[in-house]
Structure 1
Amino acid sequence: MSEQSRNERHAARMQRKKAIIDQHIAEANIDTGIMILLTGNGKGKSSSAFGMVARAIGHGMKVGVVQFIKNRTDTGEEAFLGKHCEWHVMGDGFTWETQNFEADKARSEEAWAMAVKMLNDPSYDVVVLDELTYCLSYGYLDKTTIVRDIESRPEMQHVVVTGRAAVAELREIADTITELNDEKHAYKAGIRAQKGLEW
């Protein structure tokens, strides 16, 4: 095949693709707040959410972050993004460390009370509920209440929920779901979590 022929075939294929994409863009004409669910066993759920935080801040939007379960306040994301948005670290650490259902439940309820303040406030454009999924799968928070509060938020407010093993109730109300899965992970080769990449 000549180079000219290859270029012509490529151009024709891209024209067809452009027509399809342009049609999809034209059909997507609704503006409303969406809920994004980032789940799965792979690395990058919170990192993806914080990428959206940076993007929203760049557009001058008001952002709130509530971190469930996690208790570290020395992460790179909080050190940088926390200067530009409201950021609350409200956990006591990983549940296998705390090993105390009632204490974890109480901390989760405190964190949810903070989240509800943001979900009820139309001045927040984006609310990130980091690691919320665990609070539902472990029974720390009532699924019906969480679904009701997320669905009752202001019309244009976006919500990003992260964490493994998202329950069916969260999946049902999400507009976008991304399932992140590990193909390979350095930790399994004995490499410890690295500053700037994992925290």
Structure 2
Amino acid sequence: MSDARDQRHKRAMQKRKALVDAKVAAATEDRGQLLILTGNGKGKTTSAWGSVARALGYDYPVGVVQFIKGTWECGERNLLATHTLLSVHTMGTGFTWETQDRALDQAACDAAWAVAKTWLSDPKYYLVVLDELTYMLKFGYLAIEEVEQALVERPREQSVIITGRAAHRRLCELADTVTEMQAVRHAFDACIQARRGLDW
């Protein structure tokens, strides 16, 4: 019985390897990519910071613009902020429901987007993360046409990660990879506080 099972496993893995090898061989285009991390589930920003750490691990310059979360402490940012190849700009006003000041939020968004546009046109940056950018589009602080243009015209080798809920349909159409985080259960809904070192 064990031999028969081993043989079935080997045949299945041989088929899988052939499929994977064929896909690897077909992937001939080498360029930067646009990734969207969206959905109502937890982990979008955390995933993006993981990619930041990965790029820095290969000595690639990275730029991170944080919209919305600028006033919150961020463990990943604390750890990596002194890295010579990392540039970080935070919008600085915090959550829009905290400020309740559209003019202030608009001005802060404009300043953050100006930084983002500079980095998106600079071939020095291997990776640019636009954390929570989706909210800037949703609330009307940025025009989708302007964001699309900056993404399309960026250097060929530059990758971009955009995070946030409810990613604009046109961003998703433009993206190479779209990942939707699904919320199955969240501790906050059970009145459990966000935890330092786990949630932020």
Normalised TM-score (structure 1):
0.97
Residue 134 of structure 2 aligns with which residue?
133
SS of match in other structure, 2:197: coil
> Within 1, Cα distance between the matches of 2:153 and 2:92?
25
SS of match in other structure, 1:198: coil
Residue 38 of structure 1 aligns with which residue?
37
> Within 1, Cα distance between the matches of 2:36 and 2:102?
25
- C-alpha contact 1:91 1:108 (8 A) present in aligned 2: no
Pairwise CA distance, 1:73: 5.3
Matches for 1:9-88 after TM superposition, within 5 Å: 9-72=8-71, 74-84=73-83, 85-88=86-89
Structure 2 residue ranges without an equivalent (≥5): none
RMSD over aligned CA atoms reads: 0.9
- C-alpha contact 2:72 2:94 (8 A) present in aligned 1: no
| Cα deviations by residue, 1:60-119 (Å, 9 ceiling, x for unpaired) | 100000001112353111111222211111131111111122221111111000001111
Matches for 1:141-180 after TM superposition, within 5 Å: 141-180=142-181
- C-alpha contact 1:127 1:157 (8 A) present in aligned 2: yes
SS of match in other structure, 2:35: strand
> Within 2, Cα distance between the matches of 1:73 and 1:122?
30
Normalised TM-score (structure 2):
0.96
Percent identity of equivalent pairs: 48
> Within 1, Cα distance between the matches of 2:125 and 2:191?
41
After the TM superposition, which of the residue ranges 44-53 and 68-77 deviates more from structure 2? 68-77
SS of match in other structure, 2:59: coil
SS of match in other structure, 1:197: coil
- C-alpha contact 1:131 1:163 (8 A) present in aligned 2: yes
After the TM superposition, which of the residue ranges 123-132 and 67-76 deviates more from structure 2? 67-76
After the TM superposition, which of the residue ranges 2-11 and 73-82 deviates more from structure 2? 73-82
Structure 1 residue ranges without an equivalent (≥5): none
- C-alpha contact 2:123 2:158 (8 A) present in aligned 1: yes
May I ask how many residue pairs the two structures share in their alignment? 198
Moved over 6 A (4+): none
